[in-house]
Amino acid sequence: MTQHLIQNVVLCADDYALNAPVSQGIVALTVLGRLSATSVMSLSARWAEDAPALREVRQRLDVGLHLDWTSSFAQAAGHGSGLTTVMLCAALRLYSQKNIEVEIERQLDAFEAHWQAAPDHLDGHQHIQQFPVFRDALAAVLMRRYGTQLPRPWLRVSQVGQPGLKARIISAMGAHALHEWAQHHAWPTVSPLLGAYGFDGSLEGYAHHMQNWLAHLPTDQTALIMCHPAVSAQADDAIGTARKREFAYLASHDFVQHMLDANARLVRGSGKPIET
C-alpha cells in the first residue's frame, strides 16, 4: 500500500485588529487549533486593545505584520490610496523608496510597541510587499533591522499556486523579484500562496475552495493558505459576510475532515512548534 506524504501548510488569518469580530474570530480559531499564523494591521487603533488577547495564544501561531498602504487606516494616516492607485504608482515608480522605508519602520514600531517582540513574519495587505519600489524599501528595512537576527522574520511571497488572472497580476507585480532577493540573501520565505477567491458564494462553496487548495499543496515545500475569518459581519466591512462564512467553516468538523482527507497538517512558517 502506498504511504502518502504529509503535506505541510501555513494557514494564515489576515487583518488582525481590523475590527473586533475579526480579532475575536482569529483568537477563537487559534484556541481550536485551526490556524498557524496571523498578520496584524498595526495602523489600527484596535491593535493596542487586541494585542493582549493574542499574546495569550502566542505559542500556538506565528504573529506578523500586515504592511498596509490601501486600507482606510493607511488613507487616514496620509500615505495610503486605493489599490488601483497604489499599483499604478508602484508600476510607474512614482513612490520615493525612502518615504516607503520610513513608513515601514513606523508600522514595525507600532507592531513591536504592543507585541513587545519582533514579528515572526511580514506580508502585505493586498500583496503590496512585493510591488516595485515597495519590495526594495522592504529589503532595505529588513536588512537594517533584522539582518543579524536569528531567526529572521519570514516573508510571504505571493506566488499564487493556481492559474488565473489574479495570479498573473500578482506575479507581474513582483513575486518573482522578491523571491529572488530572498534566495540571494538566504531570507526565509513561505510560498506558494493559496486562498484567493472572490469572497462570494456559500458556506459549501468555501469548503469546496478549501478542498481544492489543499489538493494543490506542493509536495516539496510548505505552502501558505490565506484566510479572512471573523465571528460576525460588521456593517462597514465590504467582505464581512465572507469573513463570517470562513469562520463558520474553519470552526467546523468539516475543515478538520478535509485536512485529514488531504493528509495535511498545520505548521508555523517560523518552524516553531504549535504548542497547546
- CATH number, domain of 63, equals 3.20.20.370
Give the pLDDT of residue 161: 58
Segment 61-84 shows an average pLDDT of 97
* Packed helices 203-215 and 253-261: angle between N→C axes, nearest 10 degrees: 20
Per the prediction, the chain carries an average pLDDT of: 94
Classify residue 271: in a domain, yes or no.
no
Give the pLDDT of residue 242: 98
Give the pLDDT of residue 168: 63
* Packed helices 240-250 and 20-31: angle between N→C axes, nearest 10 degrees: 10
Distance separating alpha carbons of residues 165 and 175, to the nearest angstrom: 15
pLDDT range class, residue 1, cuts 50, 70, 90: very low
* Residue range 120-176, pLDDT digits in tens: 999 999 999 999 999 999 999 999 999 999 999 999 998 765 556 666 666 668 888
b/e sequence 181-218, b meaning 16+ C-beta within 10 Å: bbeeeebebbbbbbbbbeeeeeeeebbebbbebbeebe
Place of cell 529588513: 142
Classify residue 273: in a domain, yes or no.
no
The Cβ of residue 219 has, within 10 Å, a number of other Cβ atoms equal to 8
Distance separating alpha carbons of residues 12 and 35, to the nearest angstrom: 6
Distance separating alpha carbons of residues 49 and 44, to the nearest angstrom: 10
Nearest CA among 61, 1, 104 for reference residue 275: 61
Classify residue 252: in a domain, yes or no.
yes
Distance separating alpha carbons of residues 60 and 45, to the nearest angstrom: 24
* Residue range 220-237, pLDDT digits in tens: 899 999 999 999 999 999
Classify residue 272: in a domain, yes or no.
no
Classify residue 274: in a domain, yes or no.
no
Give the pLDDT of residue 5: 86
Q: In the predicted model, is pLDDT for residue 239 greater than 90?
A: yes
* Residue range 7-54, pLDDT digits in tens: 999 999 999 999 999 999 999 999 999 999 999 999 999 999 999 999
Distance separating alpha carbons of residues 110 and 68, to the nearest angstrom: 12
- Number of structural domains in the chain: 1
Quote the domain boundaries for residue 11.
7-266
Give the pLDDT of residue 162: 57
